[in-house]
Amino acid sequence: MIDYTAITAQSMAMAELKLDSPLQFIKGVGPRKAEVLASHGMTTVRDLLFYFPRGYLDRTTILPIKDLRVDEIATFIGKVRAHGQLYGGKRRRYEAILGDETGDIQLVFFDGAQYWKNFFKKNMILAATGRVSYYHGKQLIHPDLERLEDDSDKLIHSGRIIPVYPQTAELNQVGLSSKAIRYLTNLIFANLTEKLADFLPEEIRSQFDLMEIFPAIEKIHYPDDRQAIDFCRKRLAFDELLTFQYLVFRRKERKSKIRKEHNFEKPGKLTEKFYSSLPFELTSGQTEVISEIFSDLQSKQPMSRLLQGDVGCGKTVVAVVSAVYAAENKLQTAFMAPTEILAEQHFSNWQENLRNLGISAALVTSTTKDAEKKEIAAKCAEGSIRVLFGTHALIYDYIEFSRLGLAIIDEQHRFGVEQRSKLYAKGNNPDLLLMTATPIPRTLALTLYGDLEISTISTMPPGRKPIRTVQRESTSRDKVYEYVRDEVKKGGQAYIIYPLIERSDKMELRSVEESFKELAADVFSDCRTAIVHGRVKPATREKTLKQFKNGKIDILFATTVIEVGIDNPNASIMIIEHAERFGLSQLHQLRGRVGRGQKESIVVAIVYPTTSDISGKRLEYFVSTSDGFKISEADLDLRGPGEVFGTRQSGLPEFRIANIARDQKLIEMSSKLLSRLFDTKNKLSKDNDYINIKNHLEEISQTKEIHLTGG
Give the domain ranges of the chain.
Answer: 55-164, 197-257+659-711, 269-457, 467-625
pLDDT value at residue 147: 79
Give the architecture-level CATH label for domain 55-164.
Answer: Beta Barrel (2.40)
Q: Where are the alpha helices (DSSP H) in 386-506?
A: 417-424, 442-448, 477-489
Query: Which residues of the chain register pLDDT less than 50?
Result: 1-13, 152, 155-158, 611, 647-649, 651, 708, 710-711
Q: Which amino acid is at 340?
A: E
With contact defined as beta carbons under 8 Å apart, do 345 and 475 qualify? no
Q: Give the C-alpha separation, 571 to 550, whole Å.
A: 11
Give the other-Cβ count within 10 Å of 221's Cβ: 23
The CATH H-level superfamily of 269-457 is P-loop containing nucleotide triphosphate hydrolases (3.40.50.300)
- Give the per-residue pLDDT at 236: 96
> Could you give phi then psi for residue 38, rounded to 5 degrees?
-65, -35
pLDDT, tens only, 441-454? 766 777 777 778 89
CB 80 within 8 A of CB 127: no
Task: Identify whether the C-beta of residue 445 lies closer than 8 Å to the C-beta of residue 308.
Answer: yes
CA distance 691 to 191: 32
Long-range contacts of 115-121 (CB under 8 A, 24+ apart): 115/506, 116/83, 117/83, 117/84, 117/85, 120/80, 120/83, 120/96, 121/80
Strand 125-134 with 304-309, pairing: unpaired
710 to each of 363, 652, 707, how far by Cα in Å? 23, 11, 5
- List, in order, residues 6 or more apart from 535 with CB less than 8 Å away: 501
pLDDT tens per residue, range 230-271: 999 999 999 999 998 888 888 888 888 899 999 999 999 999
Q: How far apart are CA 52 and CA 656, in angstroms?
A: 7
CATH architecture of 467-625: 3-Layer(aba) Sandwich (3.40)
- pLDDT reported for residue 2: 42
**Residue 493: its H or E element:** strand 493-497
Q: Who's near 651: CB < 8 A, 6+ residues apart? A: 417, 705, 706, 707, 708, 710
Spatial separation of the C-alpha atoms in residues 216 and 223, rounded to whole Å: 9
Alpha helices for 313-388 (secondary structure H): 315-328, 340-356, 370-382
By C-alpha distance, which of 336, 361, 252, 337 is closest to 302? 252
Nearest to 404 by CA among 375, 374, 381, 421: 381
| pLDDT of the residue at 10 | 42
Give the residue ranges of DSSP H helices in 550-656. 584-591, 613-624, 628-639, 641-645, 647-650
> Quick check: do 55-164 and 269-457 share a fold?
no
pLDDT at 39 (0 to 100): 92
- What is the identity of the amino acid at 170? E
Q: Give the other-Cβ count within 10 Å of 543's Cβ.
A: 14
Distance CA 65, CA 60 (A): 15
Contacts of residue 219, Cβ cutoff 8 Å, sequence gap at least 6: 2, 211, 228, 229, 231, 232
As a whole number of Å, the end-to-end CA separation of the chain is 49
